[in-house]
Structure 1
Amino acid sequence: MPQPSSSYAGDATPQEAWEALAGDPSAALVDVRTSAEWAFVGIPDLSELSKRPVLAEWQTYPSMQVDQGFVDRVAEALQATGAGAGTPVYFLCRSGVRSQAAAAAMAAKGFTACFNVAGGFEGPLDAQRHRGASAGWKAVGLPWTQS
């Protein structure tokens, strides 16, 4: 069960996010990583759910400055899919840090069911300073694709 936060609806594991996306036709996934990460590391593949993730950089590559237009752009993209302020929205980044900030920003905008995908797409660094071995979307075997 997702854990509550003071500023967004809570954290969900990648598997919980997948199950929610599969079980609720209106639920959405927003990948807040950079365009470089999408291109070189991959993106979640939601095609078997007849969905696509919303791709919106929280921090713009290469400066890594927070995109001041993020909230409005994501709100518009979500509304285009039919999502409303109460629709469950799952935010994903590399490890779960940027997505937590993005979920909080969208909650402040009035979206009441924003969840951070804890562990992100690649998970934390392991002892060898590699990602993806123990946690995250890829590590638990959820579908993804790479260009």
Structure 2
Amino acid sequence: MLNDFKAFIMRGNVLDLAVAVIIGAAFGKIVTSLTEDVLMPIIGKIFGGLDFSSYFFILSPDKVPPALAGSTDYAALKKAGVPLLGYGEFITQAVNFIIIAFIIFMIVRSVNRLVTLNQKPVEAAPVAEPADLVLLREIRDELRRGSTTV
């Protein structure tokens, strides 16, 4: 069983997948920072607030602890167990996804273009002529030469 596991791990596609997951996690952190630290403050400013992820609805106002009454701190209310509908956080994550999807699209598109440019054009194999056409040409050529034997 240990040998089977070692053979499974040493296959190329498993190692490629592991590298892709590690790079993807690091790339995800970069995109998350871009979204939370650069884009969402701009979007939040456009929509009237500096922190767009703090937009939420309190679903049960009676469950808000007295110490947090009137609070607009999403993280504190969530930590206190208050039922919240955090649509701002959802929008932040949706924007994050769209950015990642667009960047991956651009990378795949660029790689596909490079692969297309580096490929040599494949010449089509010559199509064999039908046997009856070849035979008719041979007969024609013999008749032109004036041969009487067929």
Query: TM-score with structure 2 length normalisation?
Result: 0.20
TM-score normalised by the chain length of structure 1: 0.20
Please state which structure has a larger fraction of its residues in helix. 2
More strand per residue: 1
Structure number with larger C-alpha Rg: 2
